Amino acid sequence: MGNPVLIPEWALGWHQSKFGYKDTSSLQENVNMYANFELPLDAQWVDMDYMHEYEDFTIDPTRFADLPSFVKNISDKGIHFVPIIDAGIA
């Protein structure tokens, strides 16, 4: 069995996740909307839309080319970034 693990506090907070973000600006727009309405946002998830041809550990060079700067920007604001990867790697 083992001992329980203490999870990070931010993991218990408000997370936003959905499939269908078309580019980095749509992610930024989502984060901005939370800020505009003064809603808490602890983590921004992104589904496999950010990948190049849905290949794990890649970033679409056209639609999500500025993803690293987006991640740094939200990290500076205390928002965590969680990319979803395909667990079925052959």
Task: With respect to residue 2, please indicate whether it lies within any of the assigned structural domains.
Answer: no
When comparing pLDDT for 37 and 56, which is higher?
37
Q: Does the residue 6 lie in any domain?
A: no
Q: Where are the alpha helices (DSSP H) in 1-90?
A: 24-36, 67-76
Residue 80 has pLDDT above 80, yes or no: yes
pLDDT at 87: 77
Distances from the Cα of 28 to the Cα of 3, 35, 46, 73, 79, angstroms: 39, 11, 11, 9, 12
pLDDT in tens, 41-74: 999 999 999 999 988 899 999 999 999 999 999 9
Count of domains forming the chain: 1
Contacts of 4 (CB under 8 A, 6+ apart): none
The answer to whether residue 48 sits within a structural domain is yes
- C-alpha–C-alpha distance, residues 49 and 60, integer Å: 8
The amino acid sitting at 46 is V
Average pLDDT score, the chain? 93
Q: What pLDDT was estimated at residue 90?
A: 64
In the structure encoding, which two tokens stand for residue 18, read together? Answer: 């959905």
Is residue 61 domain-resident? yes
DSSP letter for 52, please.
S
C-alpha dihedral sign at 34, 35, 36, 39: positive
Predicted pLDDT at 1: 79
pTM for this model (two decimals): 0.86
Residue numbers of the domain that contains 76: 12-83
Q: What is the pLDDT of residue 86?
A: 82
